[in-house]
Structure 1
């Protein structure tokens, strides 16, 4: 369930960033965006290694 919530939040963030980037790129808002320093933002991406499920037992009982 937690992974689903994280995935949904990532999708919502990326959708908002995509809308923002499209606005920054389109005429005439691109002229106003450049005047005020608005620039494209990167999408949220994770490396495959960081998406692995951690071993909770090892975290809670270090030996």
Structure 2
């Protein structure tokens, strides 16, 4: 994990499951990861959730 001092909150994880693009936006802002999350969520919900969880937990 990254040691940048940012902690993943429970709210971000819940949002990553319910509204993946919103969770990615709150974690990283509008950028490439937000647009990828939005496209994945619009195409298929499950890949959007998986990608958002990876971004929010700083795995990616």
Length-normalised TM-score, structure 2: 0.28
Point out the structure with the larger helix share.
2
Per chain length, whose mean CA-contact separation is higher, i.e. which structure has more relative contact order (CA < 8 Å, sep 6+)?
Answer: 2
Find the structure with the greater CA-based Rg: 1
